[in-house]
Amino acid sequence: MAVHFIDCFAPGVGTEAASDRIAAALSRVQRKVLSRQGLTPGGQAPVASPGTLRWRIQKLRDDGGSFLVVEETGPARWDLSFFRALSATVGGIVVAREHHSREERRGLATFLSGRTVEVAARDMQLGATSLGGVTLEQLTGSRSVDAVYEARFAELCSTLALRLREGTVLAAEDWQVSAPVEKFAPEKPSPQSWAFLPNLEAAAWKQALAAGVAKGWEWRTATVRGASFVELRRDGAFNEADVAGFSAKVPTGVTALEVRGAGEPFRWSEAEKGKVSERGTGSGAEELFKVLYRAAVLVGEGPGMVLGRGAEGWTLAR
């Protein structure tokens, strides 16, 4: 019996507006939702028929945190354009997998907020695909695609790989959806920058805004496991001098990240007390995860879990 996995996980996504974000991602790639059927969380799900997109929000741990899993049954091949669009609508990381047990089709892909970080795939008919500077053979080594996929979940969520398959389901639905219509093509590279300010309370951030910090950036605040932090973003490349400058006006370090998409290299900087302390460049998912880890560890969270709250709620700093 052939086994065909087409699925993805998105850390940090909760039940609020999850269905709207999935539907919006499908719409972006010209796919339609034909019908919806709610599933009983934790209940026995029926066998998925062809054309089914099954999604679930799963609890990560008792003290908070959840993630989204999307599984597709029926398409001949994975719809990478959909997974890229989903990363934009959830505002975070999406890691996707294809594994066909009878045919030589294997692949892993990682997207961040609508930009392709890495695609590594092998297909006997279509050949190999490599974006982000790594082939599938380099990515997996002696491991299977499934093992790498689960290891990435564990790393991004700072948990055990088995939590991807086991745990409390908070919400789940089966959707019948139209077939993919777009052939995946890398997006045109376009830089977007993010900055992360950990352990920053609302009062301190309000003072920094009053002092003119981060003009031209959009910002939003969040709390994870009791720790408050601020996210910043802007279109285009970040100016390292600006990042160092506003690190002088907040009582915390600042990590800035610039991603171009299409698998192209990214760059990052860390600043504290008005000075850049570290900087670097990288490519591919593993190197990106390391940068995100350096920022997220200060709030005691997995690098994927500080993202995933959607594309809404941003305010322009003036």
In tens, the pLDDT along 66-96 reads 999 999 998 888 999 999 999 999 999 999 9
Identify whether residues 160 and 199 lie together within a single domain.
no
Please indicate, yes or no, whether the overall pTM of this predicted structure exceeds 0.75.
yes
Residue-level pLDDT at 109 = 98
The reply to whether 126 falls in a domain is yes
Q: How many CB atoms lie within 10 A of CB 294?
A: 16
The reply to whether 31 falls in a domain is yes
Identify whether residues 172 and 227 lie together within a single domain.
no
The reply to whether 9 falls in a domain is yes
Band the pLDDT of 299: cuts 50, 70, 90: confident
Identify whether residues 161 and 297 lie together within a single domain.
no
Identify whether residues 123 and 242 lie together within a single domain.
no
The reply to whether 184 falls in a domain is no
Identify whether residues 24 and 138 lie together within a single domain.
yes
Identify whether residues 170 and 213 lie together within a single domain.
no
User: What's the gap between Cα 20 and its chain centre?
Assistant: 17
230: nearest Cα among 303, 113, 314, 288: 314
Q: Is the pLDDT score of 7 beyond 90?
A: yes
Residue-level pLDDT at 300 = 82
Identify whether residues 153 and 252 lie together within a single domain.
no
Identify whether residues 37 and 161 lie together within a single domain.
yes
What is the domain count for the chain? 2
The reply to whether 182 falls in a domain is no
Which of residues 300 and 161 earns the better pLDDT score? 161
Dihedral sign for Cα atoms in the order 78, 81, 84, 90: negative
Identify whether residues 143 and 256 lie together within a single domain.
no
Residue-level pLDDT at 301 = 86
The reply to whether 219 falls in a domain is yes
Identify whether residues 57 and 154 lie together within a single domain.
yes
**Cβ neighbours of residue 283 under 8 Å, at least 6 residues apart?**
118, 132, 133, 134, 263, 264, 265, 266
The reply to whether 183 falls in a domain is no
Could you report the per-residue pLDDT of 250-277, keeping only the tens digit for each? 999 999 999 999 999 999 999 999 999 9
Among 144, 177, 210, residue at a domain's last position? 177
Identify whether residues 171 and 199 lie together within a single domain.
no
Band the pLDDT of 1: cuts 50, 70, 90: low
CATH (domain of 278): 3.30.70.1270
Residue-level pLDDT at 294 = 87
Among 149, 177, 205, residue at a domain's last position? 177
Among 177, 210, 233, residue at a domain's last position? 177
Could you report the per-residue pLDDT of 46-64, keeping only the tens digit for each? 889 999 999 999 999 887 7
Q: What is the DSSP string of the chain?
A: ---EEEEEEEET--STTHHHHHHHHHHHTT--EEEEEE--TTSPPPPPPTTEEEEEEEE--TTS-EEEEEEEES-SS--HHHHHHHHHHHTSEEEEEEEETTTTEEEEEEEETTEEEEEEEEETTTEEEEESS--HHHHHTTS-HHHHHHHHHHHHHTS-GGGGTSS-EEEEEEEEEPPP-PPP-PPPP--EEEEEEES--HHHHHHHHHTTTTTT-EEEEEEETTEEEEEEEEESPPPHHHHHHHHTTSSS-EEEEEE-STT--EEEEEEETTEEEEEEEE-HHHHHHHHHHHHHGGGT--TTTT--S-S---EE--
Q: Is the pLDDT score of 190 beyond 80?
A: yes
Q: Is the pLDDT score of 298 beyond 70?
A: yes
Share of residues in the chain with pLDDT > 90 (%): 75
The reply to whether 186 falls in a domain is no
Identify whether residues 246 and 292 lie together within a single domain.
yes
Domain range for residue 228?
A: 192-316
